[in-house]
């Protein structure tokens, strides 16, 4: 969360004045949108921070070690859709 204020707003109030709340988030405030039917949504300015760089070499090595299958799952789905 940012060092600035945490502003809590109900979902319906956010929808009525979206530009105002987005402007406040761009100023550095953290805006938390509260909804009774689901989880809260947090708006902050800036990009999310990634934990670590992606290990593509390890990923492709893992893919190469996976066993090959004789049946294409997409073909199986197409057969079931035609029934």
Of residues 1, 48, 5, 11, the one with CA closest to residue 27: 5
pLDDT given for residue 61 in this prediction: 93
68 within some domain: yes
Q: What whole-number distance in Å separates Cα of residue 83 and Cα of residue 80? A: 5
1 within some domain: no
pTM comes to 0.50
**Domain of 31, in residue numbers:** 6-46+54-82
E-strand spans in 1-83?
6-10, 30-34, 41-43
Lowest-pLDDT choice from 32-41, 51-60, 74-83: 74-83
Highest mean pLDDT among 46-55, 59-68, 72-81: 59-68
The CATH code of the domain that includes 32 is: 3.40.1620
pLDDT band at 20 (very low <50, low <70, confident <90, very high): very high
Mean pLDDT score, 33-54: 83
pLDDT given for residue 60 in this prediction: 93
Q: What whole-number distance in Å separates Cα of residue 19 and Cα of residue 30? A: 14
Domain total for the chain? 1
């Amino acid at each position: 969360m940012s060092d600035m204020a945490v502003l809590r707003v109900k979902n319906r109030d956010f929808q009525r004045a979206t530009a105002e709340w987005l402007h406040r988030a761009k100023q550095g405030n953290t805006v938390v949108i509260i909804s009774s039917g689901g989880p809260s949504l947090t708006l902050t300015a800036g990009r999310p921070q990634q934990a670590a760089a992606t290990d593509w070499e390890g990923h492709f090595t893992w893919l190469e070690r996976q066993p090959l299958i004789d049946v294409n799952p997409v073909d199986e789905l197409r057969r079931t859709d035609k029934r």
